[in-house]
Amino acid sequence: MRNIFRRLKTKKMRIVQNGNPALRRVSEPVAAIDDDIRQLADKMTYTLMNNDVEGVGLAAPQVGVNKRVIVIHTCGDNKKDKSTLSPGEILLNPMMPITLINPELVSLSPETICSGEGCLSLPGVGGDVTRAARVVLKATLLDGQVVQVECANLLAKCLQHEIDHLDGILFIDRIPKEQLEEAEPALKLMAKEEAKRLK
C-alpha cells in the first residue's frame, strides 16, 4: 500500500502558475517519443486527472517542461447527440485522456465562437475568448501514429487553448481589456507567490 502511495505521489506534478517563466516560453518540438516523453505523458495525465480543480487539458509548460506535449480530456462534452460530434471527437474521445505530441493546427475555420475560459495555471481567473469554431488538428500519438482530423465543439476550443500554451500564449492575452484589468490584482498576486516558490 505504501509503495502504491509513493508511486502515485511522485506521479503528480506541480502545476505552475502565472509568473512562471515556463508559461511564456515557446516550447521545443519533440524529436523522438522515448521513455522520457512517455514518462512525461504519464505524469501529465495523472496530474490532469487528479487535480483538485477539474481541467479538460494540460500542456507541458504548465508542469514546467517546455516541450510540445499536451494532454486532452474533453470527452465529458459527449452527452450531445452523436450526429453533432466532429470527426475529431469521434476519433479521439474513446482514447481520452489522450496525449498529443507536436500538435499543430493545420487550419482554422473563419467562423468563430466566443466563450468563457479558465486555466489550471491561473486559478480563479476567467474571461471570454473568441476562437475558431473548427480546426484541423495534426498531431502524433504516443504510439507514433500521426492523425489529421477536423475537430469542433469543446475539443476545438481546448486544442486552441493548449497549443497556445506551447507558444507561450495564455488565454488572458486574448480576453477583453476590461476583463484583464479586473483580473490584474489576482494575476499580480499569483505572480508574486510563484516568484517566492521559484526562489
- Distance in Å, CB of 161 to Zn ion, minimum: 6
Q: Kindly state the smallest distance separating residue 165's Cβ from Zn ion, in Å.
A: 6
List alpha helices for the chain, DSSP H.
2-11, 35-49, 87-92, 153-166, 177-198
Tell me which residue has its CB nearest to Zn ion.
119
The catalytic position among 104, 162, 182, 194 is 162
Question: 80 vs 1, 50, 131, CA distance in Å?
Answer: 40, 25, 21
Residue 85 or 163 with smaller CB distance to Zn ion:
163
Among the listed ranges 35-43, 114-122, 132-140, 175-183, the one in contact with Zn ion (CB under 5 A) is 114-122
Cβ neighbours of residue 53 closer than 8 Å, sequence gap 6 or more: 120, 123
Active-site residue, 89 included:
no
Q: How far is CA 186 from the centre of its chain?
A: 21
| Residues binding Zn ion: number (CB under 5 A) | 1
User: Is 119 a binder of Zn ion (CB under 5 A)?
Assistant: yes
Distance (Å, whole) CA 95 – CA 65 = 23
Which positions are annotated as active-site residues? 162
Footprint of Zn ion (CB under 5 A): 119
